[in-house]
């Protein structure tokens, strides 16, 4: 079937829109299993240069409808004018669209006669991995996150991470395309060489998921538990940093926190920068925070900005404190992976027109290391906001002894967009990858309790005050394959791809055209 150029462009655009539809807030994760079919169909009998443009079109359709919330964050809450905010969002989408563009280009350039399905999935995963690393990384809404609601399926992430889930999804897209739209010879080759591998892969994924969940059900009653309370203050971002509103903010958190006394929590968790002043200065408001913790009688985790003076410079940090009885100096963790243009300006000498979105003096500096906050009751691996989308940070926290993961965030920046739902879905995979329950406290939502298998036990509603209480099961010290070895699956895929492509890299004349 020969397609006109306009038809190919429409198919590529359709793929981009289907990709967006497969992510939260909708419950259409199943769309991801077919979302790439229109794009792959448009690539049939298409030269590499044209394939690049089609992939780029798919990417623009996808990312413009996925990360539109950047405009809300930068204009409504960040104070930048609409033209600059829109320009920054479009530039981000142009950059992100290069990844599906190169995917399409390489699919056509190295089109495989055998193992087309594997090669297609491998190219997608390798490009996703690069997106998560280059230019500080932006692994927002990788394809595997679409499946966070399918609990049986995502258990395999404790071996292969979110990239492994992406591989499985793209493999099915490639398989259906190959047997349905690539011609008789390609269909026969796929059925002969790849059908057995695809069947084994899916059988393993679902049997492994069933095994993991049944193992969890049989053993979870024996695990010790911790009573945890989450406080969602729902503080309006437009007044959050207003000095005149600081006392009122604290009164809201005090009122909600005191309501938990009847449940006698072991651990109380407030969101990122819930304390909108420098707690370290020990002023009247800081002393009030201490009093609240003492009155509740629980260990207490909360966020507050901090600073350190170094000769003639001052370094600011996005910090989380842990207050425990009997410890004079609170433990703390400083955010190590900052948000570009939100908490610091990369290459600011060359981008003087872009200001921080955080109304605090000076740029934030990254923390000096990743260590859990330890107490007599529990060791908590802290993930501050954006850090929840980086698997390696949660891995290091658990590697260094974290029994639970605590994600504190202020998603008020996103407004009433799809971003808070997407952020939650990504945090859930960190629990699965490491077999650690995740406690999520968000200023305006979505706060949640997520168990060690990625199931959402409780969650709050956006833009409402909320108090969530639950018993959090503490797993043993056992670490998952993924936690021990990280993205070895991606490395394996890369190695096999090099073996497959080496002859083509040497002899394929297309590379010289």
Annotated catalytic residues are 272, 335, 385
Distance CA 495, CA 490 (A): 9
Cβ(256)–Cβ(292) below 8 Å? no
CB within 8 Å of 4: residues ≥ 6 apart: none
Task: Please compute Rg for the chain using Cα positions.
Answer: 24
Residue 131 tokens, joined: 């997106």
Cα–Cα–Cα angle for 48, 53, 59, rounded to 5 degrees = 125
CA separation, residue 430 to residues 100, 189, 219, 356, 435 (Å): 25, 38, 21, 28, 8
Distance CA 81, CA 463 (A): 24
CA separation, residue 4 to residues 43, 62, 151, 207, 295 (Å): 11, 22, 41, 43, 71
Q: Which residues pair with 300 in a beta bridge?
A: 268, 323
Distance CA 282, CA 328 (A): 12
Residue 316 tokens, joined: 């600011």
**By C-alpha distance, which of 154, 151, 124 is closest to 62?**
124
Distance CA 56, CA 62 (A): 10
**By C-alpha distance, which of 472, 494, 476 is closest to 434?**
476
**By C-alpha distance, which of 120, 113, 183 is closest to 508?**
113
User: Is 487 strand, coil or helix?
Assistant: coil
Range 498-502 contact pairs with CB under 8 angstroms and sequence separation of 24 or more = 500/112, 500/115, 500/119, 501/110
Q: Residue 183: how many CA atoms within 13 Å on its side-chain side?
A: 7
């Amino acid at each position: 079937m020969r397609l006109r150029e306009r038809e190919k462009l429409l198919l590529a655009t359709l793929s981009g829109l289907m990709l967006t539809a497969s992510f939260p807030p909708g419950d259409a994760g199943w769309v991801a299993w077919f979302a790439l079919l229109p794009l792959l169909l448009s690539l049939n009998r298409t030269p590499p240069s044209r394939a690049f443009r089609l992939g780029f079109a798919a990417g623009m359709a996808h990312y413009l409808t996925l990360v539109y919330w950047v405009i809300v964050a930068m204009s409504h809450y960040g104070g930048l004018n609409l033209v600059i905010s829109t320009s920054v969002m479009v530039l981000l989408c142009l950059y992100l669209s290069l990844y599906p563009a190169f995917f399409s280009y390489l699919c056509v350039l190295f089109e495989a006669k055998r193992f087309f399905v594997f090669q297609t999935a491998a190219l997608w995963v390798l490009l996703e991995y690069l997106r998560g690393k280059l230019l500080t990384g932006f692994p927002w809404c990788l394809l595997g996150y679409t499946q966070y609601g399918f609990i049986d399926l995502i258990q395999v992430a404790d071996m292969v991470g979110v990239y492994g889930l992406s591989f499985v999804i793209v493999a099915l897209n490639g398989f259906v395309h190959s047997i349905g739209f690539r011609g008789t010879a390609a269909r026969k080759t796929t059925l002969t060489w790849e059908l057995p591998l695809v069947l084994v892969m899916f059988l393993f994924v679902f049997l492994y998921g069933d095994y993991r969940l049944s193992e969890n059900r049989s053993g979870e009653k024996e695990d010790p538990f911790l009573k945890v309370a989450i406080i969602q203050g729902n503080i309006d971002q437009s007044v959050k940093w207003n000095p005149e509103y600081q006392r009122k903010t604290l009164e809201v958190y005090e009122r909600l926190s005191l309501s938990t006394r009847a449940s006698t929590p072991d651990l109380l968790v407030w969101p990122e920068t819930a304390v909108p002043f420098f707690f370290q200065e020990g002023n009247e408001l800081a002393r009030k925070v201490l009093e609240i913790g003492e009155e509740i009688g629980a260990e207490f985790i909360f966020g507050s900005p901090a600073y350190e003076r170094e000769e003639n410079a001052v370094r600011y940090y996005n910090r989380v404190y842990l207050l425990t009885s009997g410890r004079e100096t609170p433990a703390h963790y400083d955010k190590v992976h900052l948000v570009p243009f939100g908490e610091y300006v990369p290459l600011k000498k060359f981008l003087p027109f872009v200001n921080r979105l955080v109304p605090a003096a000076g740029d934030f500096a990254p923390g000096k290391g990743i260590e859990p906050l330890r107490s007599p009751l529990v060791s908590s691996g802290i993930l501050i906001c954006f850090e929840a989308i980086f698997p390696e940070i949660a891995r290091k926290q658990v590697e260094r002894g974290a029994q639970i993961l605590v994600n504190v965030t202020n998603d008020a920046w996103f407004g009433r967009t799809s971003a808070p739902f997407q952020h939650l879905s990504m945090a859930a995979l960190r629990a699965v990858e490491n077999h650690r329950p995740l406690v999520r406290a968000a200023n305006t939502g979505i706060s949640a309790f997520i168990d060690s298998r990625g199931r959402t036990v409780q969650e709050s509603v956006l833009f409402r005050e909320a108090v969530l209480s639950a018993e959090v099961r503490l797993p043993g010290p056992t670490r998952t394959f993924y936690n021990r070895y990280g993205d070895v699956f991606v490395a394996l895929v890369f190695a096999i791809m090099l073996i497959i492509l080496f002859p083509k890299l040497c002899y394929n004349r297309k590379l010289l055209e």
